[in-house]
Structure 1
Amino acid sequence: MPRPTPAQLVYGSATVVLSTLAMLLLSEVRSGTGVALIAVAGLALGLLVAVTVPIPRAVPAPSSRGADSSPVTRLPLRRTEPRATEHTLRS
């Protein structure tokens, strides 16, 4: 299993804390069983958020051989002004 990225840890932790706090404040639960259920729900929600955070993937290098690769045609650069060492017929 790959190690979690810092973004996954931050998003998951913030989700656990904020969702648990919001559920406790909104439900006004006073029993220990209710608090435990809300805590478990907050942990599950945080885990879900941490797992669904997109993981950066390495971009595959283009292959030198492939059905969709076309040969690259290099055109010479067009000069707009003659070089100082070249002879010109302009006076």
Structure 2
Amino acid sequence: MPRPTAAQLVYGSCTVILSTLAMLLLSGTGSAVGISFVAVTGFTLGLLVALTVPVRRPALRARSTVAAQHSPAPQEPVAAASAASSDN
């Protein structure tokens, strides 16, 4: 599994903090079971968000630069070729 990017870490951490805080405030729970359930749910949401953040794929850029390097050479304009053939 590749290492997470900075964007994935930030989005996941913010999701854990904000969702856990929101669920604790909205539920009004005070028991240890309720608080631990909210914490686990917030952590799960953070993981889900971190894993679904789109990741750049450097292999796609490498393929496009290789394709650009191997493009055919530009051809001569048609007018110059026809003028050269009429001189013969």
Report deviation, 1:53: 0.2
Unmatched segments (≥5 aa) in structure 1:
77-91
* Larger proportion of helix: 2
Report deviation, 1:75: 4.3
TM-score (norm 2): 0.72
**RMSD value, Cα:** 1.9
Q: Residue 87 of structure 1 aligns with which residue?
A: none
Q: Quick check: which has more Rg, 1 or 2? A: 1
User: 1:1-91 residue pairs with structure 2 within 5 A?
Assistant: 1-58=1-58, 59=61, 60-61=63-64, 62=67, 64=70, 73-75=74-76
| SS of residue paired to 2:55 | coil
Instruction: Tell me the percent identity.
Output: 59
How far, CA to CA, are the matches of 1:27 and 1:13 in structure 2?
21
Aligned length: 71
